[in-house]
Amino acid sequence: MPFQRTLLLASALAVASQPTVAGTRASAQILYSDDPHERAFQQSAGFSDAVILADGTIYLSGIVVGPEADTAAYERAYRRIGAILTRAGASWDDVVDITSFHTEIEPQVAVMSEVQKQFLTAPYPAWTAVQVSRLYLEAARTEIKVVAKRPAG
């Protein structure tokens, strides 16, 4: 029995002494919403506003636009994205990739593109726009997902 306890203790110490791998969610900084109702929804659904990896890469969850996909709705979404980026220690200048999902791609991308240019300047990040039949929230018309890289220092 002493040998088994020693083996078990040695195994536990070996696991505990293993460093958390950089670039994993276990070593990441997680940002949840400051709004208590939004945070409750995030926790019940199992997601966060953003995950920041040790290398400074920031992954934002999709921000929803809808039910109206008009200029004002996109401006609200972009201000919310900007606020999350600020909390993560970044800005719109640090955005490297945008993926947007649209229920009606042509009219929505046209409006989104005009609003987006109010927040982003050249050189522009990569952007992929995808048409979908439906988004998770039924009233949603567009969902915008962003990846940024926090500046060094």
Tens digit of pLDDT at every position of the chain (153 positions): 454 443 333 333 333 333 344 556 667 999 999 999 999 999 999 999 999 999 999 999 999 999 999 999 999 999 999 999 999 999 999 999 999 999 999 999 999 999 999 999 999 999 999 999 999 988 999 999 999 999 886
pLDDT value for 23: 59
pLDDT value for 122: 95
Cα 81 from Cα 46, distance rounded (Å): 19
Instruction: Please work out, in degrees rounded to the nearest 5, the angle formed at the alpha carbon of residue 35 by the alpha carbons of 34 and 36.
Output: 110
pTM value is 0.82
Rg (CA), the chain: 20
pLDDT value for 127: 98
What's the burial of 45, exposed, middle or buried (CB within 10 Å: 0-12/13-18/19+)? Answer: exposed
Rounded to 10 deg, the angle between the 105-119 and 71-87 helix axes is 50
pLDDT value for 18: 38
Residue whose structure tokens are 């920031």:
58
Q: Using an 8 Å Cβ cutoff, are 51 and 30 in contact?
A: yes
Q: Using an 8 Å Cβ cutoff, are 100 and 141 in contact?
A: no
pLDDT value for 15: 36
Give the ranges where 17-126 is alpha helix by DSSP (H).
36-45, 71-87, 105-119
CATH superfamily of the domain spanning 22-149? RutC-like (3.30.1330.40)
pLDDT value for 17: 36
Domain coordinates in residue numbering, the chain: 22-149
Cα 153 from Cα 127, distance rounded (Å): 27
pLDDT value for 25: 64
pLDDT value for 98: 98
